[in-house]
Amino acid sequence: MSATSVSSDGLRLRTIVRALRPHQWVKNVLVFLPLLMAHQVSEASLLLDAFIAFVAFSLLASGTYIVNDLVDREYDRQHPTKRTRPFASGALSPAFGYVLSPLLIAGAFAISLVALPMPFAMVLAVYLVVTLAYSFGLKRWTALDVVILGGLYALRVLAGAAATRVELSEWLLAFSLFFFLSLAILKRYAELRLMQETKATDSKGRGYTVEDVAMLRGLGPATGFMAVLVLSLYITSPEVTALYQHPVRLWLVTPLLLYWTMHMWLAAHRRAMPDDPLLFTVRDPISWSVGALAAGIVLAASL
């Protein structure tokens, strides 16, 4: 085998991996959240179930990302950053995507049906139906699209509870809905700010125009602050007393979350954030620092 052939195969493999969007798998860590919040993360069998759920959800998500990229490839070619995606750029053929996507989705359901409780497979099915509906039309519905995106984050939390058979806290679900809705709005806001920079007037394949920037700038932080309010109410609830030795220490998390929310929105407003807040968070030292401090506070409240 020639060096040129090896190099070409390596490039194709990297392109395929890029089409799977492995950086988006960070979202699927949410399946561990119900186990963590229930203080059962030390249970090895439940931790293994959560890991299997993470793998299954990642396969399913990658399969749906490919569908979305295939549907959006004409719009993506007109986008300043998305035009480099494998299907939009022509690095991968649509035919390849039409084969790979069903294989990934089938693999996700095969794993879930063999290794996890049936309720988890049912959550996967809901996620698949909603994401396909989103890709084929709902993402063009202004405002509804961000509600769906926020709900898909919350579905990951629900999936984690189903996989580990841990009772899902209503507080956690309410917090997740507000928190992830804020992130979904932030994503749209960052995209519109990028459009302003490139002098575009409307989002390709979406229902937004640059005139919506001010509206999103008001809605997004407000929704994030609602999540902090839910957290504050949770800290004063009887459930916290049963789970934490020093629940009063959890109050230190609220200013951290308030600060992080404002930090993210300021970064987007200043065009320091790309159109994907997740990528920004993963690479942002401030986000890592806030996360580490919050984890330390929760640990201190537990001991």
Q: What is the pTM of this model?
A: 0.87
- Across 265-272, average pLDDT: 90
* Burial readout 40-56 (b: 16 or more C-beta within 10 A, e: otherwise): eeeeeebbebbebbbbb
Nearest CA to 46 out of 26, 32, 59 is that of 32
Compute the distance between CA of residue 185 and CA of residue 218 in angstroms, rounded to an integer: 10
pLDDT class of 190 with cuts at 50, 70, 90: confident
Closest CA to 230 of 295, 290, 174, 293: 174
pLDDT of residue 196: 78
Q: Is 100's pLDDT higher than 80?
A: yes
Beta-ladder partners of 209 = 202
Tokens in use for 236? 């004063």
Percentage of the chain modeled with pLDDT above 70? 93
Q: 6: pLDDT confidence band, cut at 50, 70 and 90?
A: very low
CATH number of 25-168: 1.10.357.140
71 strand-pairing partners: none
- C-alpha 253/C-alpha 245 separation (Å) is 16
Lowest mean pLDDT among 35-39, 202-206, 228-232: 202-206
Cβ contacts of residue 48 below 8 Å, gap of 6+?
Answer: none
| pLDDT per position as a tens digit, 26-43 | 889 999 999 988 888 888
The residue to which tokens 């409780």 are assigned:
117
Q: DSSP characters for 124-148?
A: HHHHHHHHHHHHTTGGGSTTHHHHH
Which of 196 and 10 is assigned the larger pLDDT?
196
pLDDT of residue 72: 84
Residue 51: CA count within 13 A, CB half-sphere: 7
- B/e letters for 99-124, b = 16+ CB within 10 Å, e = fewer, are ebbeebbebbbebbeeebeeebbebb
pLDDT tens sequence across 82-96 = 788 898 888 889 999
Nearest to 63 by CA among 100, 12, 25, 26: 100
Whether residue 77 contacts residue 71, with contact meaning beta carbons closer than 8 Å, is answered with no
* C-alpha closest to that of 109 among 120, 98, 99: 120
Predicted confidence at residue 200, as pLDDT, reads: 62
Distance of CA 286 to the CA centre of its chain: 19
| 154 contacts 177 by C-beta, under 8 angstroms | yes
Confidence check: pLDDT of 232 > 90? yes
- Cα angle 4-89-269, degrees, rounded to a multiple of 5: 125
CB atoms < 10 A from the CB of 258, how many? 16
